[in-house]
Structure 1
């Protein structure tokens, strides 16, 4: 960042009063030439506001008038995998916007430095950097300088060699952080949670001052000026107070000392303790001492995921009492489902009074269903005032905004006057989505004139979607001049889609000159996809020369996909050398389709070259196992093209190629195996799964077990399922439990179901959740024993 500072750039690190709050409040103020530093990005993207922050960052990066900007952040690999994982079919998708934001924007940092970097470190050490010189005495052999500089080995040694009491406190802190408790851990909580982490013998040997001694031991710094567990002083709140909370609610700020776990030990705990359920003292201490609403709600979710239903219930009640509006809404939904409308409304109202727009929306629905239209409208307006627009609704997975929903209900009930009145009221309050929704209803009902009037009203108030639809309607009506005027108006407001749509319409109508003019206008507004799309139209129309010209223009404007289109046309024209160069450029810019084409060129019959295996390796290198699923499938395609064509040419040579191509990237082998399996080649698929499993890919073991099970090899399947389960694969635990049930081993099945519950992933698998509910309807105690019946 230092060279940017010399060019007048500023650095902004949002952190006060909390990182997430600062980002939510001030990201929209970021202007050009700003570096936004999201250090430890899980504190921004993993917070309850993570989806809002991801959307705000995306808007910042895609708004030309706000650039140039640079957003930098760091994430531990576990968080990255969590945020980029695809949701199960029908399951929740809590990180959809974060996943989109991270797609293609990550750089994996190696665990160790290479020889060149170590040589540079040595030169710095010889130049007087005593810290590096000291670190090199220990880390030169394995190159793990960062870990040593961060005190990682020393911290781990302190953890493993520490006294039983100190180790217990560290494990409490590790469990708290991995289950969603904030950075600052109250001392009272840590101390009260520690007893069940100690063996009976160690507990009996504790002295009255055990806690004082343990904290003193953990406060001693190791190499790198770090302590395993440090006392910290949180910054005081400097923001205006938020929405009202109950008078008797505990303060979210701990009254006593608070501590922070060293980052390295936190990450170590997430890895080594990820499948352990904390003991009873942990849950009791959390319920007794934690007062931050988000901490309590996070623990509620973790308890539910582990089928600890009784603790989940009590933690949710406390979270609601402390002011967590999500907990209040969850309790309200339970009351509503049980028929207690009055109790549900009371809880929704409490959540709404604290700023939860979802609760206002739920209240508006309840009032509308009860026939109280006036009350419903009042609540809908309040929801609008509290920031419940349709864009945010899509962001957090909720329904369309409250006012638009009420407009729709009025329209469907035949009350067009009431619907239009509500829509205009909403528009007057800045919510043009209601007008847009009403216009769509009018259009669907055949009232194009009324629809156009409403679209124009929404457009006049800044709704760019309405402008786009007006452009289409004016074009359909033959008013081309008005259509162009409206399209330019939308572009001036930052939405070039209307110009692009109009360009396509003109192209299809045969007006190539008009289409190109509009496409260029869209490109001048920053939309290079316009020229790219127009090039495709020319290509489909058979005008290859015109298409090539437009592809080249789009590429000159920075559209790297246009390089691929241009290379494709060069290949068809027989200019293989130029095509290959262009495909290589597109591939270097991340276009994996270009890798497919390169693979075809390199491995086609009669063109065997030494570069074909390097190319397949290049494709695998671009398919890092942590990369988004879309990229993984794209690199699989490139590999498969190369490997399948080579199989035709060389027989069984593809297996050796796959091994080299996927070295260090076992997901490439797994994807290839899936394709072979779908093609019916189970033997080849099994061989690829085995290679991936031998390189440490747990899911490959699971899929290999499925192949064995489908083939009727129950014994072999069970052995593989058990291996996968031993590595923490929850689906494998479920399938293994099913096998145990089928052979009548009920005790073994229960043990596996209990193990899955401890892992915390059981609720994500419908069959597992149903099995747990069937076996233990009242849940499990922290130690895994069935919870007795409770109310």
Structure 2
């Protein structure tokens, strides 16, 4: 019948041997299908003389079930295919459209529905794809395969840089053309590849993700490289597309030339990869970031979420890949490790800087533990907790990693100011993962830290701004005693904000001398506002000399606002001469606001010439408000040309109010 239907002698021989094996085994086709792990129809078609050549996969399974020599049977199958001039539609793998990206080891992105407890399917929790330069090279490779040429491309990049996702996006046009995809992994990646590469048929994508597991295998890596090369050059088996991914260290290892004295362990791998490595950058460049922002603006919440954390360094894919595992590590951490993480989350959301001292975290964590967990702590609990939290997840992220702050480079400053902001505490410092920091800000926003947190802040933190912010947060939560001590500690370390607040508190408590001491310390750290506040309080108390002395002190430090504020107070009290003296002092120090204020007083007193002189002095210092005020005076004096010239001068300096004022004059005219 094979001869009558035009089948080749090799196919007749293949089917004859299968039929003989079936007879010797005393099995029917249903029993054979069960033993071979195949469908009843597949077995029937393989034995039927009216059907085309069975696939290599089917022949191999039947040979094993019937204890026939597998290599000989596969050789007969390949010859039958060649003689028939056709290819079987089956082979390793299945249609691309039947694969889910996560089954091909594409990292789940973002916090994900499973982590958030949502009913949304995993496939829907998928960010839009941002195309980059390497995607264009991949597209060209795919175009070549669709034109009938077999190709290989191996993407090289660090962990979670988007290599596997790029491969997945690249093969989608092939899915529309009915291509298959084969991902060898069972029983091991290397064994699966070695045993089945010779069965790969045309129009198949060979998926070698984490290619070091195939090409770097000490026993069979070179054989796999040779088999892939044979597949690529076999015309009767093409076109095929081989896609792989590698970390840079593996790519360097496999492509490095050996020295004459050492064996060449990767010669076939090196030949296979030559000219077929494609670099994937660690971070999004400016065009990719712009594209990501546009997609986020259009409603892609995963990209929008990642951009809030990774927009500065462009490590978007690492953030997306690491977020689910970071959250999982936090939720399933041991009691001590979770307590340290919660202390770190609270520290960041309440205002402590990025670099958290280990001593602070260790002391702060104790009250986050239940009494039962606290009783079970061993002597080395802290070291164990930090070791647990330092283990990395995708994207080289860790829940809590040790960090080395860069030294601060500032211009030379007085000794008192140079130490401001320096963290006095020595020892290791740690940084909380950005995603966990953001998670803590939302999930813990209604929680108040326990007493150990405030005590650790008071004991171990030394940055004045951090201490002052923690004091503010303690006060908001009515931890008033902690707030009081933290505020004083911030003042000790030179926080001008804390010093100013304490100065006002001293003044309100009736201790003006103590208030002045603290105010001068704050001014020495750059905060002169408190001097102005104390000057106003002295003025209200009737101590005009004391108020003026404080205002003069602030002015000497470059803050003339205190002089102007006192002048307003004197003017309201109808002390015109006293107000004018103060304003002239401020104007003499270059305060153009004072010059304009003084000009208004001169004009009200009928001294228009004096007022204009003051305004021209301010205008000479670049104050366009003074020019507009002069223009108003010129217009009132019916000197419209002079007014217009002054407004044009102000407009030429970038004052758009002057243009508007000039337009109104033209409309009125």
Give TM-score, length-normalised by structure 1.
Answer: 0.45
Q: Which moved more, 1:338-347 or 1:463-472?
A: 338-347
* Residue 132 (str. 1) matches residue 159 (str. 2): no
Structure-1 separation of matches of 2:331 and 2:637 = 77
State the shift of 1:336 in Å. Answer: 1.8
Q: 1:234 to 1:124 in 2, by over 3 A?
A: farther
User: Where does 1:437-456 land on structure 2 (aligned, <5 Å)?
Assistant: 437-444=597-604, 448-456=608-616
CA distance in 2, matches of 1:423, 1:306: 44
Checking the alignment, whether the CA contact within 8 Å between 1:122 and 1:133 is kept in structure 2 is no
- Which of 370, 375, 380 aligns to 1:209? It is 380
Matched, 1:255 2:426: yes
| Cα offset, 1:381, TM superposition | 4.3
Aligned counterparts of 1:407 and 1:241: Cα–Cα separation in 2: 36
Which residue in 2 is equivalent to 1:349?
Answer: 520
Tell me the distance in 2 between the aligned counterparts of 1:194 and 1:124. Answer: 49
Describe how 1:44-83 pairs up with structure 2 within 5 A. none
Following TM superposition, by how much is the alpha carbon of 1:304 offset from its aligned partner in structure 2, in angstroms?
A: 1.6
Alignment of 1:294 onto 2:465: yes
- In our comparison, the structure showing a higher alpha carbon Rg is 2
Paired residues of 1:332 and 1:347 also in contact (CA < 8 A): yes
Aligned to 1:469: 629
* Comparing 447-456 and 321-330, the one that deviates more: 447-456
Hey, what does 1:149 align to over in structure 2? 318
CA contact (8 A) 1:229 1:262 kept: yes
In structure 2, relative to structure 1, the CA distance for the partners of 1:270 and 1:163 (3 Å cut) is same
Aligned to 2:128: 114
Query: What's the offset of the Cα at 1:367?
Result: 5.0
1:551-595 Cα offsets, whole Å, 9 max, x none, are xxxxxxxxxxxxxxxxxxxxxxxxxxxxxxxxxxxxxxxxxxxxx
Instruction: Measure how far apart 1:233 and its partner are.
Output: 1.1
Q: CA deviation at 1:268?
A: 0.9
Q: What is the correspondence of 1:52-451 to structure 2 with a 5 Å cutoff?
A: 113-114=127-128, 128=155, 131-134=161-164, 149-150=318-319, 151-240=322-411, 242=413, 245=416, 252-366=423-537, 368=539, 376-384=547-555, 386-388=557-559, 401-444=561-604, 448-451=608-611
CA distance in 2, matches of 1:267, 1:431: 44
> Does the C-alpha gap of structure 1 residues 119 and 380 become closer, same or farther in structure 2, counting only changes over 3 Å?
closer
**8 Å contact from structure 1 (residues 468, 498) kept in 2:** yes
Aligned to 2:91: none
Cα distance change, pair 206–144 in 1 and its aligned pair in 2 (3 A): same
2:648 to 480, 485, 488: 488
TM-score between the two structures when normalised by the length of structure 2: 0.53
Q: Partner of 1:365: helix, strand, or coil?
A: helix
Q: 1:148 to 1:349 in 2, by over 3 A?
A: same
CA distance in 2 between partners of 1:490 and 1:424 (Å): 24
Cα contact 1:174–1:265 (8 A) shared by 2: yes
SS in 2 for 1:128: strand
SS in 1 for 2:155: coil
Q: Displacement, 1:292?
A: 0.7
Aligned counterpart, 1:62:
none
Shift of 1:159: 1.4
**Distance (whole Å) between structure 1 residues aligned to residue 367 and residue 167 of structure 2:** 40
C-alpha displacement at 1:231, in angstroms? Answer: 1.0
After the TM superposition, which residues 582-731 of structure 1 pair with which residues of structure 2 at under 5 Å, given as runs? none
- Conserved in 2, the CA contact under 8 Å of 1:439 and 1:452? yes
Query: Deviation at 1:135?
Result: 5.5
Match in the other structure for 2:619: 459
Corresponding residue SS for 2:395 = coil
CA contact (8 A) 1:348 1:362 kept: no
Aligned residues of 1:184 and 1:259 also touching (Cα < 8 A): yes
| Inter-partner Cα distance in structure 2 for 1:493 and 1:458 | 14
Rounded to whole Å, the distance in 1 between the matches of 2:541 and 2:550 is: 14
CA–CA separation in structure 1 for the residues paired with 2:137 and 2:545: 76
Q: Is the 8 A contact 1:435 1:458 kept in 2?
A: yes
Return the offset for 1:132: 1.8
Alpha-carbon RMSD across the aligned residues, in angstroms, is: 3.6
- In structure 2, relative to structure 1, the CA distance for the partners of 1:112 and 1:307 (3 Å cut) is farther
1:479 & 1:246 partners in 2: Cα distance?
53
Residue 224 of structure 1 deviates from its aligned partner by 0.3
Q: Is the 8 A contact 1:112 1:143 kept in 2?
A: no
Residue 499 of structure 1 is matched in structure 2 by: 659
Deviations 1:295-351 (CA, angstroms, capped at 9, x unpaired): 111111111221222211221121122211111221222222222222222221221
Aligned counterparts of 2:476 and 2:386: Cα–Cα separation in 1? 32
Distance 1:428 1:318 in 2: 39
Give the gaps of 5 or more residues in structure 1. Answer: 1-75, 77-109, 390-400, 512-791
Instruction: Determine the structure 2 residue equivalent to 1:762.
Output: none
Question: Aligned residue for 2:11?
Answer: none
Q: Is the alpha carbon distance of 1:402 and 1:139 closer, same or farther for their aligned partners in structure 2, counting shifts above 3 Å?
A: farther
- Contact kept, 8 Å, 1:135 with 1:149, in 2: the verdict is no
Whether the 8 Å CA contact 1:124–1:132 is kept in 2: the answer is no
1 CA distance for matches of 2:587 and 2:301? Answer: 61
Taking a change above 3 Å as real, the CA distance of residues 119 and 477 of structure 1, as seen in their structure-2 partners, is closer
**Cα distance 1:191–1:381, how it changes in 2: closer, same or farther (>3 A)?**
same
C-alpha contact (below 8 Å) 1:174/1:269 kept by paired residues = yes
Q: Structure 2 CA distance, aligned partners of 1:342 and 1:492?
A: 50
Q: Does 1:478 align with 2:647?
A: no
Q: Which residue of 1 aligns with 2:264?
A: none
Compared CA separation, residues 437 and 112, structure 1 to 2 (3 A): farther
Equivalent residue of 2:445, what SS?
coil
Report the CA distance between 1:144 and its aligned residue. Answer: 5.2
**Distance in 2 separating the partners of 1:417 and 1:376:** 16
Structure 1 residue 505: Cα displacement:
2.0
Q: 1:144 to 1:327 in 2, by over 3 A?
A: closer
**Is contact 1:407-1:438 (8 Å) kept?**
no
Contact kept in structure 2, 1:155 and 1:228, CA below 8 Å: yes
Unaligned runs of 5+ in 2: 1-109, 111-123, 140-152, 173-299, 307-315
CA gap 1:372/1:457 in 2 versus in 1, 3 angstroms? farther
Secondary structure of 1:259's counterpart equals strand
Question: Could you tell me how far apart the structure 2 residues matched to 1:117 and 1:247 are?
Answer: 47
- Structure 2 distance, partners of 1:478, 1:350, is 53
